[in-house]
Amino acid sequence: MKGDLPVFAVTGKKDSGKTTMVTSIIEELTKNGYYTASVKHTRGEYGIDKEGTDTWKHGKAGAAIVVFSTPMETTISIKAKKSLNEILKILSQFDLDVVIVEGMKEEDIPGIDPSKADEIDMNEVVQNLCRRIDIYRIERELPGLDCGRCGYTNCDAMAEARYRGEEVECSVESNVVLEIQGERIPLSSFPAKMLKGGIEGMLRSLKGVESLDDVIIKLNQEER
Ligand code: SF4
């Protein structure tokens, strides 16, 4: 599996200081160059739109998704409840480093509770998060096959080793990707080179092929 996008939660009672803690974590991560998303969860049955605004009227009329676009920002409002997994799936379309969640106590997410602030070392919290993100950044560049050919049990362990500074090679990391029925097939360097050489040679002989950047070939065994 490709590394999961790091998610960190700040949960606790109402007015316990969750938002203050979330904003200070986001500020620190942003200062350190990480691309952060936040999720605010509330049990209240209301939306971000104020009654009577144009976008509120669009939603009220039945639009399933309302987009508010200004020169400063783009707000996409989905007029339906979404689970955390669904929200993370939507966010995965962006090249994010981490998602900070305020609320969602019932979800099994690593995090902190501001009511225990005396026991929390915020520097340590941010450092641990930065470490998780750095490992995730390494892991998302690996094939995510968890095949163990490199000697590590999975890509996560390999990413941790690279993070520690070990110079270790992924045995199937190559610029050739072979998928059969949606499953990525681990390719070590010899078959990867053979495939690449053969396909490149054939493609170069074709009229109209000027570049071999980002080539996708799909084979279908059905008779046409
Ligand atoms: S060889 Fe590559 S794909 Fe396989 S587990 Fe190691 S890092 Fe992951």
At 70, which CATH number? Answer: 3.40.50.300
**pLDDT, mean of residues 115-135:** 93
Write out the residue range of the structural domain in which residue 47 sits: 7-139
In a domain, 146, yes or no: no
Q: Say how many Å lie between the CA of residue 143 and the centre of ligand 1.
A: 7
Q: Say how many Å lie between the CA of residue 171 and the centre of ligand 1.
A: 6
* Residue 3: predicted pLDDT: 64
Query: Which residues does ligand 1 sit against, CB inside 6 Å?
Result: 142-143, 145-150, 152, 154-155, 158, 170-173
Work out the end-to-end distance of the chain between its first and last CA atoms, rounded to an integer number of angstroms. Answer: 35
Find the length of the chain: 224
Minimum mean pLDDT range among 55-59, 82-86, 91-95, 212-216: 212-216
Which residues on neighbouring strands pair with residue 8, listed in sequence order?
100
In a domain, 149, yes or no: no
In a domain, 155, yes or no: no
* Residue 68: predicted pLDDT: 96
Q: Say how many Å lie between the CA of residue 168 and the centre of ligand 1.
A: 10
* Residue 223: predicted pLDDT: 64
In a domain, 181, yes or no: no
Which atom of ligand 1 is nearest the CA belonging to 145? 3
**pLDDT, mean of residues 76-92:** 95
**From atom 6 of ligand 1, which residue's Cα is the shortest distance away?**
150
Per-residue pLDDT at 125 exceeds 80: yes
* Residue 1: predicted pLDDT: 47
Tokens standing for 186?
Answer: 């681990």
**pLDDT, mean of residues 122-147:** 93
Which atom of ligand 1 is nearest the CA belonging to 142? 7
Q: Say how many Å lie between the CA of residue 195 and the centre of ligand 1.
A: 20
| CA-to-CA dists, residue 102 to 18, 20, 118, 166, angstroms | 7, 10, 19, 36
Name the residue of 150, 154, 163 whose CB sits within 8 Å of the most ligand 1 atoms, as the mutation to test its pocket.
Answer: 150
In a domain, 99, yes or no: yes
* Residue 166: predicted pLDDT: 95
- The pTM assigned to this predicted structure is 0.79
Q: 173 or 93: whose pLDDT is higher?
A: 93
Return the number of other C-beta atoms located less than 10 Å from residue 209's C-beta.
12
* Residue 224: predicted pLDDT: 58
> CA-to-CA distance for 49 and 65, rounded, in angstroms?
13
Q: 36 or 213: whose pLDDT is higher?
A: 36
Work out the pLDDT band at 152, boundaries 50, 70, 90.
very high
Q: What is the pLDDT of residues 189-201, one digit of tens each?
A: 778 888 888 888 8
Report the amino acid identity of residue 155: C
Strand 98-102's sheet: what is its strand order? 36-40, 98-102, 7-10, 111-112
In a domain, 70, yes or no: yes
In a domain, 173, yes or no: no
Q: What is the pLDDT of residues 16-30, one digit of tens each?
A: 899 999 999 999 999
Q: Say how many Å lie between the CA of residue 172 and the centre of ligand 1.
A: 6
Q: Say how many Å lie between the CA of residue 159 and the centre of ligand 1.
A: 9
Mapped onto helix, strand or coil, the DSSP state of residue 111 is strand
When divided into structural domains, the chain yields a total of 1
In a domain, 111, yes or no: yes
